[in-house]
Structure 1
């Protein structure tokens, strides 16, 4: 819905919304009425309050400058027979701001702020929250505490609910950019009308100009409250659930720290043709997620317990961040990238130009090894056609023994403390759960075990469950197929929709498998055969050495 034009009497209309600063606010003399709906609203008070509780917990929905809200105090009240409110439930959380360089405004002020309201409305507090708003750039915008109240009318008729936001500040010039510069904001559900009201500081005249940011914000607040309340009434279910594996606060705090340390260097020195702002911040987010994931799995001393292998590491930015954080590891890719040369010597030494051929394609089957223990390879021969500009096309025949010994080939035989990363690893995506190491796979392009492009269909059993957030697209089919492969060979799979600037943000994670010491199991071989087999994998992989690297 677009905004309307200001009329001669100071009011304006949009499709369904009305602005009239001259109208006296029903909330009381200190309040100014900003916007209201013009037609009776269809949703009920319960829908409104459910939607507003979600917006209180997720203020980033209303402002892209806000990262999140940390709930410091929360109390739920009930009314006793004598009409007085009584605390039914109460929770507090002691959260510190550990970054000394972050801008802060009164973050030690935890006292609840209660704005005055019209006594004729008989409003009482039912939910009382003190939240701390964390901006995306906490070196530019200040962290601030804010009281959020949900208030109800004492009588059931009319059905009234008021949400009040009061920042813990003393003057207008303390207001951070991301909130309207007023003393309090009220969003009111009353008599089938939804409206937004302000308690201004001193300059009420600014609220008479619809071009002012605070006025535009009031309109957006009304629009968002209306939209989300309607969504609740219509049974809207969130399509994507984030933060299922790693705690959101831990991840976001780690992301902020990594962004501060690494973003400027990576953006300023980017050597690829791709957009650095997308790729740099995506890799920083993935690094932060991995850091917190490993801390969760292995404990705070995880750096002493694991090392990573980033298969298909591409530009190497993820490896650079992880190694710079003191985590042992290597990045492996079929082609060297321009960006590798910008990194410190220890990172450059950890980036390897190799093609990847899983050893289970080169070693004898485990049952054969039992009978002939000294047999090191399976005797396979793999013809690869090559072209040369000066001579006729030729065929090179590689043996499994050649590939096992070649320094240009990585056969994925790593130390037991290895954790494998497959970040948009293309042809390797489906292979990674079969290699016998804990892993994370972030699928991108869909390939089978031969390395050929293919579309996997989402299984019927998951169309209504795990793939709901992805639908039935080619990408959904790939994600579901990787999850199926991992489950099939014994991994306890977790899935996270990562907070990264990419639509291909599903992460499949496996770190528990009772059969790990038996890999490759017969189930691994069966999965490969049932999926079409690995014919031409080695030939297609060796050909990668002659191709230009892809960009994602």
Structure 2
């Protein structure tokens, strides 16, 4: 119930989240406290307002004592249709005095949670909320005569009118069903009382409300125009809203890294604000992401009057490029350029390598959102799951088996029944299961390559309408620290002989990674030739708007 209090979007698709305005236990963070914790306070155009709301008065209930009070604000997905709603959430527990009419003489504990909307009439109630003055959950935990433990959950409500409309009845049954389903599958974690998302990789880099607020603004500003002018055969709804969600994350990520909003052309324009170094969107596809970022004032390029074939510099150095008619690019990006690799397919694993090779002394920051799995030579390839250390107490019966055997990945259930298949799908959602999936293995490979290239790598689950929603980010913390020193009172160090020597060593290390990866394909020269052959097939095709060639 604590989790659902912090995440009402689980019970309604019309809600984004709940912003916590007050928690008597101080465990659930307010938006301001989240921004302070993430270090993002003070670097956005619309500073989060200090939010406070007095809770509704708690009532005395026979047999219960109040243990916690939370005030939350429900945030709708579409603020143009629905308004936010504030609620007081009252947590009670039994004080040992059980009323006789409960029917449970052997009760051990009773838990009660009451939601009180801050409205006075039914006309004030938004569409996404049941038309009720109050809603309560009561959980009775007791011991049966046979000695087994069990519990019962009941839903209680106070309507505005004596009649119960069909819609309200359906809504209450749905809410009750969600609670029962979650209770049956919930894995209790001691100490988790702050309502945080069960997945630690969600909202772990940028506060959730920052990204969702920016997405709401972008959607209202750009979505209708982009969809109405869509010129491709693909579904505009899928592409437009996904790219707007990625744009929202990038804008907030860059504000946290560079402290820029809006970006300035020159650092002299404001002594406390840095300039944005520019971005490049490789494999930019239809160019929507580039278009919106530029419209937001961030300089960069991708599919902006430019279309080039990417030939990695290590391949270009050993291969014959005479047969390629289209202009090529070897990844020689300007210093500090932020690289975006969104569903870049053939360029996914290359992304950290091209970023590091572009400036070995100060590797370029990047974000990679993996999709389809390819090897360094551009061919479709399924990476084996990464090796993991055995957990304490794990048996040794599989000792000696090849953990990299791709034939064991996503093995089909032996029984072949639907229940076994569902169990396998649920296992994929766990850490070990995710790593054994093709997408998890590709993500792990991208991170591994980046770490070998010297990056401090982070990953985050992006809130985008796609199952390919893992973001791999390299260089975020280092760049943020360097930018702060450079443009907020410090000075950027000039290149030295030791830095140049360090750069040469890093280049050699990256080349070693590439050569090692190409061994299975016959070596660097053969891999380069195969990459060039694929590039030539692309140049012979007519331009296809949806083909992500790599800008």
Judge same fold: TM > 0.5, yes or no.
yes
Structure 2 residue aligned with 1:359: 313
CA contact (8 A) 1:187 1:222 kept: no
Structure 1 residue aligned with 2:509: 523
Structure 2 residue aligned with 1:197: 156
Structure 1 unaligned regions, length at least 5: 1-51, 77-87, 97-106, 333-349, 364-377, 383-396
Change beyond 3 A, Cα 1:463–1:456? farther
Deviation at 1:422, TM superposition (A): 0.6
Deviation at 1:454, TM superposition (A): 0.6
- Specify which structure has the higher proportion of helix: 2
Between the aligned partners of 2:12 and 2:127, the Cα distance in structure 1 is 10
Counterpart of 1:65 (choices 14, 30, 50) is: 14
CA contact (8 A) 1:115 1:184 kept: no
CA contact (8 A) 1:360 1:520 kept: no
CA displacement 1:54-101 (0-9 Å, x = unmatched): 00000100100000111001003xxxxxxxxxxx989766699xxxxx
Between the aligned partners of 2:21 and 2:208, the Cα distance in structure 1 is 16
Between the aligned partners of 1:195 and 1:469, the Cα distance in structure 2 is 35
Name which of structure 1's ranges 531-540 and 244-253 shifts more when overlaid on structure 2.
Answer: 531-540
Q: Which has the higher contact order (CA 8 A, sep 6+)?
A: 2
Q: Report whether the alignment pairs 1:478 with 2:431.
A: no
CA contact (8 A) 2:19 2:30 kept: no
Between the aligned partners of 1:91 and 1:309, the Cα distance in structure 2 is 35
RMSD: 3.1
- Higher Cα Rg, which structure: 1
Secondary structure at the aligned position of 1:381 is classed as coil
Structure 2 residue aligned with 1:314: 285
Structure 2 unaligned regions, length at least 5: 36-49, 98-106, 142-150, 191-196, 265-274, 357-363, 392-428, 480-498, 519-523
Counterpart of 1:446 (choices 373, 380, 399) is: 373
Q: Report whether the alignment pairs 1:291 with 2:251.
A: yes
Change beyond 3 A, Cα 1:109–1:250? closer
Structure 2 residue aligned with 1:417: 336
The equivalences for 1:149-160 within 5 A come to 149-155=90-96, 157-160=107-110
Between the aligned partners of 1:239 and 1:497, the Cα distance in structure 2 is 9
Between the aligned partners of 1:89 and 1:240, the Cα distance in structure 2 is 17
Change beyond 3 A, Cα 1:165–1:509? same
CA contact (8 A) 2:31 2:209 kept: no
Deviation at 1:361, TM superposition (A): 2.5
CA contact (8 A) 2:24 2:70 kept: yes
Aligned length: 422
Change beyond 3 A, Cα 1:117–1:275? farther
Structure 2 residue aligned with 1:427: 346
Structure 2 residue aligned with 1:15: none
Structure 1 residue aligned with 2:385: 458
Change beyond 3 A, Cα 1:463–1:214? farther
CA displacement 1:272-325 (0-9 Å, x = unmatched): 111111110100011111111111111125552310111110000000100000
Secondary structure at the aligned position of 1:279 is classed as helix
CA contact (8 A) 1:316 1:351 kept: no
CA contact (8 A) 2:21 2:52 kept: no
Deviation at 1:108, TM superposition (A): 8.0
Secondary structure at the aligned position of 2:65 is classed as strand
Change beyond 3 A, Cα 1:57–1:234? closer
Q: Report whether the alignment pairs 1:53 with 2:11.
A: no
Between the aligned partners of 1:68 and 1:276, the Cα distance in structure 2 is 26
Change beyond 3 A, Cα 1:523–1:470? same
Structure 2 residue aligned with 1:100: none
Structure 2 residue aligned with 1:148: 89
Counterpart of 1:326 (choices 297, 301, 307) is: 297
Change beyond 3 A, Cα 1:445–1:90? closer
The equivalences for 1:381-400 within 5 A come to 381-382=320-321, 397-398=322-323
Between the aligned partners of 1:158 and 1:353, the Cα distance in structure 2 is 70
CA displacement 1:30-55 (0-9 Å, x = unmatched): xxxxxxxxxxxxxxxxxxxxxx0000
CA displacement 1:404-428 (0-9 Å, x = unmatched): xx87112221110311111111111
Deviation at 1:235, TM superposition (A): 7.1
Deviation at 1:164, TM superposition (A): 0.7
Structure 1 residue aligned with 2:176: 222
CA displacement 1:464-517 (0-9 Å, x = unmatched): 999547341111111111111101110110101111111111111112499995
Counterpart of 2:64 (choices 91, 99, 123) is: 123
Secondary structure at the aligned position of 2:74 is classed as strand
Between the aligned partners of 1:427 and 1:217, the Cα distance in structure 2 is 46
Name which of structure 1's ranges 255-264 and 470-479 shifts more when overlaid on structure 2.
Answer: 470-479
CA contact (8 A) 2:223 2:241 kept: yes
Change beyond 3 A, Cα 1:551–1:381? closer
CA contact (8 A) 1:72 1:94 kept: no
Structure 2 residue aligned with 1:177: 127
